[in-house]
Each structure stands twice: as structure tokens, then as C-alpha cells.
A = this chain, B = another copy of it.
Amino acid sequence: MIGVVASLKVQPDKTAEFEAVFLDLAAKVKANEPGAIVYQLTRSKTEAGVYKVLELYASADALKHHGGTDYFKAAGAAMAPFLAGRPEIEYLDAVE
């Protein structure tokens, strides 16, 4: 399994718009990607506008497939105007 923690900083007055785009993306991931075992948006309890996406994939291929889907690319373009900086993506190997 592969883990990902994606950190996203959102403009404080655009969090509702961002969440709507992301939750639509998450629903599509859940419906279409059996290899995306966990794909959960979370919000910092302490830093306004800071989100982390906790992700687990069955394989490197599943992660690659995720990033190549049309709906992922469309969501990235749709949420870009709401971000306050470039996303930070950390890739991790599951220890099993």
C-alpha cells in the first residue's frame, strides 16, 4: 500500500467553495477507484484554511490511475482559484 498526505492551504473566504469541489471529487474517487482505499478530506483544528487529505492506495498503479483520471484533473483546475499556495504532497510507503 501507498500512503499520501496532501496539505492544502485555502483562502479563508473560499473554504465553502473548496470543500464543495473536493467532496464532489471524493465521491467520484469512491465510486470509481477500488484501489483508493482511503481518500478523506480533513480540516485542521488549529489553522484556519488548512486541510489535509489522508489517502491510502492499494498499489503504486492505483495511485497513478487516480492522478490520471479526468475528474481529478478537472477538480484540480476547479479548486486552484481557491488555494492560497501550492499543495504539498507527501508520499509514504505503508508498513504492513
Contacts and interface: CB of A to CB of B under 8 A. Distances in A.
Interface of A: 1, 3, 5, 19, 22-23, 38, 40-46, 51-52, 54, 56, 90-96
Interface SS, A side:
strand
Copies of this protein in the complex: 2
A39 to B, nearest CB: 11
B56 A95 contact: no
B95 A54 contact: no
B40 A56 contact: yes
Given A23-B95, A94-B40, A94-B41, A5 B3 contact: no
B38 A54 contact: yes
Contact of A5 (B5, B23, B95): B5
21 contacts: A3-B40, A3-B42, A3-B52, A5-B5, A38-B54, A38-B56, A40-B56, A40-B94, A41-B94, A42-B93, A42-B94, A42-B95, A43-B92, A44-B90, A44-B92, A45-B91, A45-B92, A45-B93, A52-B90, A54-B54, A54-B92
